[in-house]
A and B are shown apart, each in its own frame.
Chain A
């Protein structure tokens, strides 16, 4: 898949941008704060329908504009796909897929596979479990849009159950709680099974990616949960386990006024030769694992989709030692790539150079 053109209006520092990238490698060079990452963010937005910076939609609207408009056309084997997003100052947005409103926004997720790699990815390895859950859930949603719907349903059911516990505590109506338990169980089991499927296809690719990055040892996932997820390998088993765990922990939940078990509390741990990467690996190893995670995601998407994903590398090269930097692009396929860098010399690869300055890319 390739981005043919990108148009931005009223988006961050871009009042009006028309950008026609090259099919292969595109290197965006510019000083900090000139809007390199914003271009990557916009491309990723058209594929993921949210900012990879994890910020609310309205904050990407330029303060001078009434709304931000992001438009892009992508070429695919069957022709082309056009995605257009308008975000108003109040955060409301309208999405068009090939000029028409999609029936559901998540239909767009299936259209444009993108993989983003940026320095904060190190946190996925280093920090708490929520980023790793997010990594698996995001990949699941890119592979099967239904996963995005199930995740949203689980979030909502959980928020309702937690609201009941928070407001009522020990005096919560047990019958109402029973009803929410059933919803949390249903949706939670589906969220877990989506993760399981991702782990299944990811396993092989991740191990290979880790070797290709030049590391020795075996990189794998170890899925930790307090509701017996390990013993559940299908939907019915997961529902039964989760339902039992919610019942067993009800007393604790009533005391703590929140839901203390379920897929939202799981820790998908990364382990190298059985050692937890979060605490045992060196900074260098952790960086290698972070690269492997993105290479793994790229390869999974490449395998499951008829077209190669678009690869977005945000200021990654300055973090890598020069010896490895050269090899990084080879790890991914031969698809379209966007690289940002403050120093051209940091990116020792051929490709179209673009200078980013004052809201212009040329």
Chain B
């Protein structure tokens, strides 16, 4: 146990994901040793983020405004929606520069064990958008896990009757990799999803 103010910070840091007691101690003592300005800047950043950030009213991405910068961008194609599990997935997809539509953050994947069904996700909101925004294609970019795949299947069955094309991100081989190193499941999926040259 350290003196109460130090221990308090250690305890708070240790509650963060991926941070154990040791890392929390190291971070706390680092913060103790830096200039006070730097420490205050960190504290302010946390407070301001919590105060200013909210969810985009359209796609539920994080934003400081009513709508996120992607939804406000008039150059983006409103007929394409890419559905992701979490807001963190959006910058990853954005980095590819391959997608020019809008997003929809579901807030997770269907998992009865975790008590998450369609009602706990933003599925109804997605259906509303498909109907209201004359969407032509929904790309389901949930994780390639059992729960992510099941969510994709569920969305496909739900949305197709609305006359929209539903697609799933392809699973395949890592670029620059060897066939030898691919596991059977990935390779099997890559075969199923092969493309004509």
Give A residues with C-beta under 8 Å from B. 103-104, 146, 149, 153, 156-157, 159-161, 163-164, 167-168, 173, 175-176, 178-180, 182-183
Chain B residues 151 to 184 lying within 8 A of chain A, measured CB to CB, are 151, 153-154, 157-158, 181, 183-184
> Which 10 pairs across A and B sit closest by C-beta, in order of nearness?
A163-B112, A164-B112, A179-B154, A163-B113, A179-B153, A179-B150, A146-B184, A160-B112, A156-B146, A183-B150
Judge whether B107 is part of the interface by a CB distance below 8 angstroms: no
Q: Select from chain A the residue with minimum beta-carbon distance to B153.
A: A179
Min Cβ gap A58→B in Å is: 19
Q: Are B113 and A103 in contact (CB under 8 A)?
A: no
Q: Which of A157, A164, A167, A176 contacts B146 (CB 8 A)?
A: A157
Q: Are B113 and A176 in contact (CB under 8 A)?
A: no
Min Cβ gap A116→B in Å is: 27
Cβ of B113: which chain A residues have Cβ within 8 Å of it? 159-160, 163
Known: A104-B183, A149-B185, A176-B117. A160 touches B153 (CB 8 A): no
Chain B residues 94 to 125 lying within 8 A of chain A, measured CB to CB, are 110-113, 115, 117-119
With A and B bound together, what is the CA distance between A340 and B133 in angstroms? 73
Q: Which of A104, A146, A167, A179 contacts B110 (CB 8 A)?
A: A179
Cβ of B181: which chain A residues have Cβ within 8 Å of it? 103
Question: From DSSP, what is the main secondary structure of chain B's interface residues?
Answer: helix
User: With A168-B117, A176-B110, A180-B150 given, can you name 9 additional A-B contacts, CB distance below 8 Å?
Assistant: A156-B146, A159-B113, A160-B112, A163-B112, A173-B117, A175-B154, A175-B157, A182-B150, A182-B153
Total chain B interface residues with beta-carbon distance under 8 A: 21
Q: Are A160 and B158 in contact (CB under 8 A)?
A: no
Q: Are B149 and A176 in contact (CB under 8 A)?
A: no
Known: A173-B118, A176-B117. A183 touches B149 (CB 8 A): yes
Known: A160-B146, A164-B117. A176 touches B111 (CB 8 A): no
Known: A160-B113, A183-B146. A178 touches B185 (CB 8 A): no
Min Cβ gap B154→A in Å is: 4
